[in-house]
Chains A and B, each alone.
Chain A
Amino acid sequence: MVTDKSTTARLLCFSIPNLPVLQLALALLEVLEIVPPMEVTHVPFAPPFVMGLSLWRGEPVIVIDLAAALSGGKPSSDPYPDHQQYLIALTVVGEHPHMIAWPILSGSAARDIPSLIQSAPLPITAMNSDLFHAAIYLEGQVIGLVNTTDLFDHPKKVDLPGVVVPAIR
């Protein structure tokens, strides 16, 4: 194992509905807030993993089903159980910052990890590896570091006949 305990990175570790066995993490700098369940408005013709649009402090937030995005599966048919929380994150698509959110299970926690740490294979091979920076071993557990910047570059885009859409980047 290669470690350097002189420097550390701060991650928020969490798990998500529909993929509870997979421990995920996001750099703490990308996390804006964890909030109670949000009112989500469905947006027709959005990518399949997009649950809809919501507001956070008066600003629009795209709410996604992260499990569906990571696995390429269908979004949850029951995406709004009362016990869930939502993680609000900042991401950059192209050159523009955007706010996105997704449901998480309770029990998320901030953790300090050595900046040099052993990488690990993704525990579920069916995952879309583009949406992970890496997977790491931490205290015997595999944690996937989520890469939100590529979420919306994923090929699962909706082509809309009659609508010409300029490229984002």
Chain B
Amino acid sequence: MSGSTTMPPIRYLPVDAGGQRFGVPLDTIEVVVRVEGSSENTGDEALHDNPAPVIDLSYLLKGVPHSGQRLHTIAVRGETGIHALMVDAVYPIRTAEASRQILLPEIIGPARHLFLCAVQESEQLVLLLNINCLTMHFASLAQEFSNGHG
């Protein structure tokens, strides 16, 4: 179902991760940090004063490690606390009006819950991340990994 007038506009930060454009809702963002240097210099250093689990968004969503170029770290606040999203690039903030918001059909399965909606940007669709769901998913994966390797 496409957007209706009852859906409020969503301001979001467009980002690139794994070669695809995604959107991070602005109301979840604490800070955005440009990370200089190579892939060895990752987001956890940038957020040194505020340690947070670092999520390589490229790897989580697309299964490929981040490019190591033009890295940015975005501190987002979810129900499980602050997480640092590592992305390949960020772009100027945009606003998704209700008419451009498209809810993902329920038949797509669990993926539907990781994204608030898709936003139509010219010819392409941009998936807006559901930060609460994404960080809970990541925390759960981390716990599984920890249990499996403890």
Contacts and interface: CB of A to CB of B under 8 A. Distances in A.
A140 interface: no
B124 A161 contact: no
B88 to A, nearest CB: 15
A62 B136 CA distance: 26
A17 interface: no
Contact of B109 (A54, A100, A158): A158
B123 A50 contact: no
B10 interface: no
A46 B144 CA distance: 21
Interface in A41-61: 41-47, 50, 53-55, 58-60
B32 interface: no
A80 interface: no
A39 B123 contact: yes
Nearest to A159: B110
Contact of B113 (A55, A159, A161, A165): A165
A133 interface: no
Given A53-B118, A60-B105, A62-B105, A158 B125 contact: no
A41 B108 contact: no
Contacts of A44: 60-62, 111, 114, 127
Interface of B: 1-2, 20, 60-62, 102-115, 118, 120, 123-127, 133, 136-141, 144
Interface of A: 39, 41-47, 50, 53-55, 58-60, 62, 93, 96, 98, 100, 152, 157-163, 165, 168
The 7 closest A-B pairs by CB, nearest first: A162-B140, A161-B140, A160-B110, A45-B111, A41-B125, A44-B61, A162-B137
